[in-house]
Structure 1
Amino acid sequence: MRLDKASDIEREIEIAKLKKALLAKQKATTPEETNAYAEGVMGEMLTVKQANAWVQEALKRPDPKMLFGSLWYEGEVGILFASNNLGKSILAVQIAEGVARGQATLPLPVTATPKKVLYIDCELSDKQFQIRYTAGNQVYRFSDNFLRAEINRKKLLEGYSMTELVLRAIESHIRQHQVEVIILDNISALRNDLEKTTDAGDLMMGLQQFQDEHEISILLLAHTPKVQSNQPITDNHLAGSKMLMNLTDSAFTIGCSQQDSGMRYIKQIKVRNSDKRYDAENVIVCEIRKENAFLGFHFLAYEAERHHLQQTGANTRDEELSLVRQMMKDGYSQRQMVEKMSISLGKVNKLVKLIADQDREEAVKRAA
């Protein structure tokens, strides 16, 4: 990050250039002078080099490191989107903590070194946040690299948009705290009218410019309209203009498994820095639970998304238990049950555990 005296000098140079350009414009009194000024400004809008030169210059810089496996890399503007109450904020805080510590989140590696993270929370109050990360007298201790912020709406200024004010505040804290990663929960805090292509485009290009200038990584959280339980999630489910998806570097989503109300799956929607690994045939199946006072996603399996969608004519829970019980008697493995019943391994495992619990309860009753 450019946070030293050299960066201040560069900033002063840019300001001087801008003043010089404005002065040239003021002095341009003839059409020829005005055209010369316009051509000079427009010419600087594009940096043109041979393709080989671009490649050679890029080779001198290190490849971007993983912040959340192949779902989000350093230097990217990424989007995490999902319907309400599926755990977007829970997963985002978990990702932030993993990046702050330089530790893997779920089975997804963090290859970057620990980074200073600023998590802008527009969803939870401080009390709600505290409740999520305490259990009785046990309090989870976050990394010191993890900074959380709330928007102070009493400080709104007339004549400035929420986007302008928040970005200026972020810039101030980037310099003050040497922040390297920003997570914004959620994007609607900056602008509500994201259905309009121009507004969505302006916002995303503004964030990309902001990201380039400060050499930071940004993750935006966004809502989706309610997704039909029998439909796979696609990029079309992201709420707002299509421009949001077009201008982001990476995108991933959370789906609700129809096999169990406590199960979720994470699906990769867009990727630029690697192959798409967690597509519809290989989603990351998890459950949400609190462990050691930390509410988070816990890995269960990699499975096809179709196993977690509503199936026409699906068996009831009692029917599934009966089928699994019979297959256990017949010596089926859990993998064979998955193939036979067309359900996920995670669900088979839960059914097997439930049958074991039922058998123990029945044994206790008989002994009493």
Structure 2
Amino acid sequence: MSHPQNVPPAGGQQGINPDVIRQEIARLLQPDADQPDQGNQLFRLRSAADWMERASKRPIPKMLFGEFWFQGELCILFADSNLGKSILAVQVGDSISRNEQIGPFRLEAGRQRILYFDFELADKQFEARYSSNYNYHYSFTNHFLRAELDPMADVPKTFANFEDFLNHQLENLVVSTGATVLIIDNLTYLRSETERAKDALPLMKHLKSLKSKHNLSILALAHTPKRDAAHPITRNDLQGSKMLMNFCDSAFAIGESAKDKSIRYVKQVKQRNTEEVYGSGNICLFTISKPYNFLQYEFMGYGREWEHLRQPEKEDREALRTQAAELKLQGKSFREIAAEMGITHTKAERLLKEGQ
């Protein structure tokens, strides 16, 4: 009788030799062990100790825009339309290209080459923002590169669709320019239906792959659907939020102050390389200004988000009390009521007390 390969009989009888098993496990856990070619592998298997050893040799992530965005991250900046996402993105890119931080937000990574994909503005619109009445242009550094779509370009027959051609050309520019920081303004042009999970998934996989392959830091701008300004900004406000949030490393958002329309606030929504520093209780306040030839966010200080949310009218509050009372009659807890109404559990408790 033949025996299974690599499992010799123990004690003269067919069986499993513990030493062989231990040797095989040790072989599999060797990071550079020779293994038969089985094509592409989904998982990379190493011991936890080996992962730690390898990670220890990589540099510690450095800040690009304070705690909002770190080197090596795929970060999403989202906001409603016309709140100034592009203004802040260009300002952040310019600061990194100069190695000059914005306000109190640390820049630790040093000067980087920026590749800014602008799918929003035409060149004349861009000029208007960064000049004084189309004269006295702002002097960007040679480390800040801007790309926009050529409307006359045709999709070659070798590509299945426009999106595949776009992704291919995007990667070509990353390689040819040597850029290490990528800013995409905005995600809508990479995938037309980011609010649908099936379309958001390949988009985020492509960006993650691009980031890892070329050791990039990516800031991707995204829209929010119209939101209720009486509620704090959450990750659920991002268009296509669940899939996009699952795949990004960090995210921050811009909100408009309800008490002063000229004020913007910036808030952390997701973070991995740091603790939450700029959450609801410590948002960053800005005004948008143009001192001479550079449209920019000017840092004002810090605040609490609730101070800048729209206060409900008397009729609105009565409707909220009625809704909370109905949910309470259904046996729901304060937290369950809060989750269903999109408010905090303390506010839910307060509404119920007011209705008593």
TM-score (norm 1): 0.72
Alignment correspondent of 1:110: 107
User: How far apart in 1 are the matches of 2:161 and 2:213?
Assistant: 21
Q: How does 1:345-356 map to 2 (within 5 A)?
A: none
1:256–1:99: structure 2 CA closer, same or farther, 3 Å change rule? Answer: same
Deviations 1:217-236 (Å, cap 9, x if unpaired)?
11110000112121110000
User: Which is worse superposed, 102-111 or 117-126?
Assistant: 102-111
Does the 8 A contact of 2:235 with 2:241 survive in 1? Answer: no
Deviations 1:306-344 (Å, cap 9, x if unpaired)?
010112469xxxxxxxxxxxxxxxxxxxxxxxxxxxxxx
Uncovered stretches (5+) of structure 2, i.e. residues with no partner:
1-35, 315-356
Alignment correspondent of 1:86: 83
| SS class of match (2:295) | strand
One-letter amino acid of the counterpart of residue 155, structure 1: A
Alignment correspondent of 2:151: 153
1:163–1:70: structure 2 CA closer, same or farther, 3 Å change rule? Answer: farther
One-letter amino acid of the counterpart of residue 240, structure 1: G
User: How far apart in 2 are the matches of 1:247 and 1:266?
Assistant: 21
Alignment correspondent of 1:142: 140
User: How far apart in 2 are the matches of 1:109 and 1:310?
Assistant: 31
Does the 8 A contact of 2:201 with 2:243 survive in 1? Answer: yes
The partner residue of 1:63 within 60, 63, 70 is 60
Deviations 1:3-62 (Å, cap 9, x if unpaired)?
xxxxxxxxxxxxxxxxxxxxxxxxxxxxxxxxxxx99136x2211111111111111111
Alignment correspondent of 1:101: 98
Alignment correspondent of 2:38: 40
User: How far apart in 1 are the matches of 2:92 and 2:165?
Assistant: 26
Does the 8 A contact of 2:130 with 2:294 survive in 1? Answer: yes
TM-score (norm 2): 0.74
User: How far apart in 1 are the matches of 2:198 and 2:312?
Assistant: 41
| SS class of match (2:95) | helix
Alignment correspondent of 2:201: 201
* Structure with the largest fraction of helix: 1
Does the 8 A contact of 1:162 with 1:189 survive in 2? Answer: no
One-letter amino acid of the counterpart of residue 309, structure 2: L
| SS class of match (1:153) | coil
| SS class of match (2:259) | coil
Question: Is residue 2:163 matched to residue 1:166?
Answer: no
Alignment correspondent of 1:175: 175
Uncovered stretches (5+) of structure 1, i.e. residues with no partner:
1-37, 315-368
One-letter amino acid of the counterpart of residue 40, structure 1: Q
User: How far apart in 1 are the matches of 2:72 and 2:307?
Assistant: 34
One-letter amino acid of the counterpart of residue 123, structure 2: D
| SS class of match (2:264) | strand
Identity of aligned residues (%): 41
Q: Tell me by how many angstroms 1:167 deviates.
A: 2.1
Q: How does 1:184-195 map to 2 (within 5 A)?
A: 184-195=184-195
Q: Tell me by how many angstroms 1:166 deviates.
A: 2.2
User: How far apart in 1 are the matches of 2:296 and 2:38?
Assistant: 53
1:39–1:193: structure 2 CA closer, same or farther, 3 Å change rule? Answer: farther
One-letter amino acid of the counterpart of residue 211, structure 2: Q
User: How far apart in 2 are the matches of 1:172 and 1:241?
Assistant: 29
User: How far apart in 1 are the matches of 2:168 and 2:313?
Assistant: 54
User: How far apart in 2 are the matches of 1:241 and 1:298?
Assistant: 28
Does the 8 A contact of 2:230 with 2:310 survive in 1? Answer: yes
